[in-house]
Amino acid sequence: MKILRSIGAVLAGLIFIVVTHTVTDKILEGAGIFPPPAQGLHITWMLITALVYRILFQVAGSFITAMLAPSRPFLHGMIIGVIGFVLGSVAAVVAIPMQLSPAWYPIALALSAIPSAWLGASIYTGSRAR
């Protein structure tokens, strides 16, 4: 039963991250702030904005995972980071040749996954220690 709760905690964090990324992207595209995905994203302030909110959602997703973990919350939070790094690296390899954004953007997304997860898990474990 504990393994199911662990899997559920990780899935909850991943679902939170995917849903918040997707909804925020759609809101910004629908409002005309960001261009449609097929046009790519090449304007620096837009890329930085997207990177910032994605990092914040990654931190929150790791926090949620740590909070829901049945034991070892920091480890569970870091699992989110490893998954994010692996998926982000694959996405970068696929996306860079498509030239939908400058190469630094998908690389930054992949590289931010583990530090973001560390921060989210640390915030949770630190608040729990008090």
Residue among 59, 53, 67 nearest 120 (CA)? 59
Task: List the domain boundaries for the chain.
Answer: 2-129
Note the pLDDT tens digit of each residue in 48-91.
999 999 999 999 999 999 999 999 999 999 999 999 999 999 99
Residue scoring higher pLDDT (7 or 38): 7
Give per-residue burial for 47-58: e unless 16+ CB within 10 Å, then b.
Answer: bebbeeebbebb
CA distance 126 to 130: 7
Identify the pLDDT of residue 130.
64
Identify the pLDDT of residue 128.
77
